[in-house]
Structure 1
Amino acid sequence: MKRAIMSVLSVMSVLAFHFRAQAQTTTTDSLLATASVHDCVQYALQHQPAVKQAQIDESITDRQVKSKLADWYPQVNATASLQHYFQVPKANFNGQVIRQGVTNTSTLGAGLTQNIFNRDVLLASNTAKTVRLQARQNTANTQISTIADVSKAYYDVLLTQRQIQVLVEDTIRLARSLRDAYNQYQGGVVDKVDYKQAQISLNNARAQLKSAGELLSAKYAFLKQVMGYPETGTLSLVYDSVAMLQQATTLDTSTQVVYENRIEYQLEQTTRQLLQAEVRYNKQAFLPTLSAYANYNLAYFNEQFGKLYSADYPNSYAGLQLAIPIFQGTKRTQNIRIAELQLKRSDWDLAQLREQINTEYTQAMATYRGNLNDFYTLKENVDLANDVYSTVNLQYREGVKTYLDVIVAESDLRTAQLNYFNALYNVLVAKVDLQKSVGTLTPQTF
């Protein structure tokens, strides 16, 4: 008997130590002293690797756009050459063989080119805002997924903590029942069956409590992962039970889905705009390319290498260059057709996405409503099970009920409490999925 009670107290002390360890704060700026779901989400939006990668991709896209637009600016290049003839070329001129050039030649030059009209650069100019918008939308999409993942992981940790609290209370009740059954057995009131049943129930509860404690550590690790939180950092979750209940059960279920609010739909529309620009680009393949150029060169030549740069002979010129595509086989026609087919395909992508969004919304709404109904039912069951257990336990002490009735009542109470917290978790998760399906789960509104 004493060994059983000491074992229960030992398990409780281990759990208490675990909770205290989780509640320890840190003075490091990059860690959270205490964390609500809002704090966890905000931390993830600043530190989660996927979000950081998306932000870097956005910066890369911005630099790529600037690189393309740089072709509108003048392009200046410097050149230099040095050449030595071992045998100077010769040519026949009016029957006489004469030398062409000298043994040593060198040229230093600077050239400038300026695009006046170029459809490649024109495409970059026309699509710069759209490409940047697409990059921002990709970042927003990653942030929304992060918010959903962190919220669910946060609620999962809270669920496990509440389950552990239920199991701790259950273990305490079973330890008390074990003590009562043992005392009655010692007094000869009951046989050893009650005592042995109490011991079995307590052992099972202790095993379940131990498993839940191990599971809590794993769920903390997952929460830290989706947050981008240091695995060695402490993290203590805080929450307001009343506010959480209100948050879980307060949602306008008459809200209708608006496709344009979904980031996936916005991304698909942006992609379609870029495909439209690609069609226009390919239709402009017949347009000429016009550029201006200017060059300034210094020429040096001498038979003796040491005197090569003793005198220079400058030349300079400027001009325009016009390139007109006349015949390209059927390349232009085929490229136009490819771009038009890709644009047509994007229409079907939008149609498919609308159906997907509508299905997600319908499923999320049905799941939320069903879980909410289960939550209210199971909440009532907790009160009923608690009343039943109190009554049966009192009647057992008075000798009216058997110990089997106490075990059944206690089991029903534990099950009702665990089911209640599971239902609360399911409602919270379903609400996150529903908000995501209607497009209201964003960094700005969370």
Structure 2
Amino acid sequence: MKNLPKVGRLLFCWLLLTLLSTTSSWAQGQAFTLKEAIDYALQNRVSLKVLRNQEQIDKAKVGEVRSIGLPQVNAGVDINNNFVPQKSKVQFPGQEEPQIISFAQPWTGNALLSGSQLLFDGSYLIGLKAASTYTQLSKKNTEQGEIEVAEQVTKAYYSVLVASEQIKLLDQNLSRLDTLLRQTSIMNKNGFVEKLDVDRLKVSLNNLRIDRDRAQRLQELGEQLLKFQMGLPQNQSILLVDQLNENTLVSTTPTANANGFNYANRIEYSILETQRSLALLNQRNIKAGYFPRLVLTGAYGYNSNETSFSNLARVRAAENAGLNRNWFDYGVVGLGLQVPIFDGLRKSYQVQQSKLQLENVKLGFEQLQQSIDLQLRQSDLTVSNTLSVLRAQRQNMELAEEIARVSRIKYQQGVGSNLEVITAETDLRAAQTNYYTALYDALIAQVDADRATGALLVK
């Protein structure tokens, strides 16, 4: 019992540490690799949720079409008050004047159970196949949406990574230039350099800070875009785990070959194939309208005619009720055959339209193949060009770093000018900016090449 307060304090400390660690983790942001970011987007992007809901709607439509061929059963009860009964003029034999009489009772009732079963309908059979094909089209539309989301997330992810690397380099440049400014200020106080040298460095440092602030804002905008593409709340912090790996990118060579490419690897081609199947089924469905339609029907019910509602409500339907019986059963079974003979050439015009629609789909294949061939060749050239530019910009950046380093050493040793250092630092920043622009272009070119070959999102 004496240990209870101590145990309570330990439990409280454990809960506090857990809460603090959770809060700290939330503040740092949720970490994502590129693959995790894509997976998250595939599950949480609103546009994909809409497409998946549409898939379920299309599945339900298949069930709706299938239900037409299942038995249709209905039940109903009708009770009518003939407050103005129908009358007829009747000429009875042996009478000179016709008599006006009514055969209707004030109250009538009818209870009916009816059913029907479709035995044959060519349009229904084709409709079943078309409904199933339509669900395939819905799935492929969702897949196309997933590929587009993966592309958008990948490009946004890379843009944030590149912006982060640019900020790191700018921070290094700021630190280096700030140190040089302090050293130059001391040299100016001691009379070794002019105040103009200090002012030049201050101007260069201010410009560098402006570039750093601009890069920071661009990174924040990139993160907001990435969170939007992922379906992540804007108030949620995010942390990117992957690092830019130029070695893997540089070793990647164009692999697309338009001459031997399998067009079926592209989801757009697969969607067009499904649309062609639907066009063919639509044509068959129209032609099936020339076939007869056979329906089996049946009904069983009771009817009654009474002078008052109380007599009608007092149901006596058994056969042994004799003359007191007031509800009488009846039943009917029928076979309905509908044979189309002439519809004003409506189906003939529909067939003409379906043939032209099918021709348009075939032309769509030709256009899509030409477009894919162009994309493959363009992606090959773009990847080659961006990799070549990236290599050149990396060499330029390395040379600019060496020039800036030597310029600083010469200036510190008194054999170089302040203007030479500032010029070298400016050229270095330009080379670094050009390098990361080329790196981003190469990454985007690789993403576009994967999209062109259908390898961007392979499940």
> Structure 1, residues 29-57: CA drift from partner, whole Å, max 9, x if none?
xx973111111000000000111111111
Does residue 255 (structure 1) correspond to residue 256 (structure 2)? The answer is yes
- How many equivalent pairs are there? 417
The structural deviation recorded for 1:240 is 3.7
5+ long unaligned stretches in structure 1: 1-22
1:79-94 correspondence to structure 2 within 5 Å = 79-91=76-88, 92=90, 94=92
Counterparts of 2:91 and 2:136, CA distance in 1:
67
Give 1:404's match in structure 2, choosing from 419, 424, 433: 419
SS of match in other structure, 1:114: strand
- The one-letter code matched in structure 2 to 1:393 is R
Counterparts of 1:60 and 1:255, CA distance in 2:
38
Distance change >3 Å, CA 111–CA 340, structure 1 → 2: same
Q: Is the 8 A contact 2:379 2:445 kept in 1?
A: yes
Q: Is the 8 A contact 2:45 2:231 kept in 1?
A: yes
Counterparts of 2:293 and 2:265, CA distance in 1:
42
Does residue 437 (structure 1) correspond to residue 440 (structure 2)? The answer is no
Counterparts of 1:291 and 1:130, CA distance in 2:
26
Counterparts of 1:271 and 1:33, CA distance in 2:
42
The structural deviation recorded for 1:291 is 0.7
SS of match in other structure, 2:239: coil
RMSD of aligned alpha carbons: 1.8
Q: Is the 8 A contact 1:248 1:424 kept in 2?
A: no
Q: Is the 8 A contact 1:25 1:235 kept in 2?
A: no
Counterparts of 1:46 and 1:247, CA distance in 2:
28
* Structure 1 residue aligned with 2:43: 46
Q: Is the 8 A contact 2:123 2:289 kept in 1?
A: no
Distance change >3 Å, CA 88–CA 347, structure 1 → 2: same
SS of match in other structure, 1:299: strand
Greater Rg, structure 1 or structure 2?
A: 2
Does residue 76 (structure 1) correspond to residue 91 (structure 2)? The answer is no
* Structure 2 residue aligned with 1:199: 202
Q: Is the 8 A contact 1:143 1:443 kept in 2?
A: no
Q: Which moved more, 1:250-259 or 1:328-337?
A: 250-259
Give 1:324's match in structure 2, choosing from 324, 339, 342: 339
Does residue 26 (structure 1) correspond to residue 41 (structure 2)? The answer is no
- The one-letter code matched in structure 1 to 2:230 is M
Q: Is the 8 A contact 1:24 1:235 kept in 2?
A: no
* Structure 1 residue aligned with 2:162: 159
The structural deviation recorded for 1:252 is 4.4
> Structure 1, residues 263-285: CA drift from partner, whole Å, max 9, x if none?
11111111011001111111122
1:364-443 correspondence to structure 2 within 5 Å = 364-443=379-458
Counterparts of 2:238 and 2:213, CA distance in 1:
21
> Structure 1, residues 340-372: CA drift from partner, whole Å, max 9, x if none?
010011111111111112222222221111111
- The one-letter code matched in structure 2 to 1:104 is W
Distance change >3 Å, CA 130–CA 32, structure 1 → 2: farther
* Structure 1 residue aligned with 2:353: 338
Q: Which moved more, 1:323-332 or 1:212-221?
A: 212-221
Counterparts of 2:62 and 2:247, CA distance in 1:
47
Q: Is the 8 A contact 1:65 1:124 kept in 2?
A: no
Counterparts of 1:217 and 1:24, CA distance in 2:
21
SS of match in other structure, 1:322: strand
Counterparts of 1:303 and 1:250, CA distance in 2:
98
* Structure 2 residue aligned with 1:61: 58
The structural deviation recorded for 1:317 is 0.9
> Structure 1, residues 154-206: CA drift from partner, whole Å, max 9, x if none?
00011111111111111111111211221221111121111110010011111
Q: Which moved more, 1:420-429 or 1:317-326?
A: 420-429
The structural deviation recorded for 1:246 is 4.0
Counterparts of 1:152 and 1:226, CA distance in 2:
10
Q: Is the 8 A contact 1:74 1:113 kept in 2?
A: yes
- The one-letter code matched in structure 2 to 1:26 is W
Counterparts of 1:230 and 1:25, CA distance in 2:
16
Counterparts of 2:74 and 2:285, CA distance in 1:
29
Q: Which moved more, 1:89-98 or 1:117-126?
A: 89-98
TM-score when normalising by structure 1: 0.90
Q: Which moved more, 1:298-307 or 1:119-128?
A: 119-128
1:93-172 correspondence to structure 2 within 5 Å = 94-95=92-93, 97=99, 98-172=101-175
SS of match in other structure, 2:65: helix
The structural deviation recorded for 1:258 is 2.6
- The one-letter code matched in structure 2 to 1:254 is T
* Structure 2 residue aligned with 1:267: 271
SS of match in other structure, 1:26: helix
Counterparts of 1:202 and 1:24, CA distance in 2:
34
Q: Is the 8 A contact 1:81 1:108 kept in 2?
A: yes
- The one-letter code matched in structure 2 to 1:57 is Q
5+ long unaligned stretches in structure 2: 1-22, 315-325
Q: Is the 8 A contact 2:255 2:380 kept in 1?
A: no
Counterparts of 2:33 and 2:121, CA distance in 1:
55
Q: Is the 8 A contact 2:123 2:288 kept in 1?
A: no
- The one-letter code matched in structure 1 to 2:78 is S
Q: Is the 8 A contact 2:256 2:377 kept in 1?
A: no
Counterparts of 2:127 and 2:29, CA distance in 1:
44
TM-score when normalising by structure 2: 0.87
> Structure 1, residues 215-258: CA drift from partner, whole Å, max 9, x if none?
221111110001000111111111144xx324423434133243
> Structure 1, residues 286-322: CA drift from partner, whole Å, max 9, x if none?
1111111111111121012111133311101111111
- The one-letter code matched in structure 2 to 1:290 is L
1:164-243 correspondence to structure 2 within 5 Å = 164-241=167-244
The structural deviation recorded for 1:427 is 1.1
Distance change >3 Å, CA 122–CA 93, structure 1 → 2: farther
Q: Which moved more, 1:256-265 or 1:31-40?
A: 31-40
